[in-house]
Amino acid sequence: MNDAILTVLAQVSEQMGFLTPTGPADQAPTFGPVVQVAFHGPAEGVVVVAASQTLAEALARNLLTIDADAAVPAEDCTDALRELANIAAGNLLPILHGDGEYRLDPPEISSWPSLTTDAAHLECVEGTLSACCALR
């Protein structure tokens, strides 16, 4: 499962976020935005995605074409991560829990769960990106 999460994170961060994945990381970022996407359908639960602050800022810069020397508002970082989490969740669910019609709730600000077994951490040139999937 963790390999599948890592693969999807790498694909989405590269294709949608224009980030540069370099390989697995050891742990979730300790400082940066976290969002969760609740899903309903053949399985019910949440996908949680966390980004280091540097990665969240790079993501927002790339998606919003913000100048390199301009400050990135926190809201832009969170909104950029929301969209990345939404796409990651949509791509992960059929892999983790089988094909079917899933309904995704709008991504919400969250916190990284203290106990996670099904999690993957991706190192990118821009920082760290983590995701986990928990069933309800």
Which residues in 90-109 contact another protein (CB under 8 A)?
A: 90-91, 93-94, 99-106
C-beta of 50: minimal distance to another protein in Å?
18
Residue from 25, 87, 96, 119 that binds another protein (CB under 8 A)?
Answer: 87
Q: Is 66 in the site for another protein (CB under 8 A)?
A: no
CA–CA dist 102, 40 (Å, integer): 6
Q: Is 4 in the site for another protein (CB under 8 A)?
A: no
Residues with Cβ within 8 Å of 23's Cβ and at least 6 positions away in sequence, in order, are 122, 123
Q: Which is nearer to another protein, 64 or 135 (CB)?
A: 64
* Burial tier of 93 (Cβ tally within 10 Å: 0-12, 13-18, 19+): buried
List the one residue out of 100, 102, 127 whose CA is nearest residue 47: 102
Q: Which is nearer to another protein, 50 or 84 (CB)?
A: 84
CA–CA dist 27, 50 (Å, integer): 11
Interface with another protein by CB under 8 A: which residues? 11-12, 15-16, 60, 63-64, 76, 79-80, 82-83, 86-87, 89-91, 93-94, 99-106
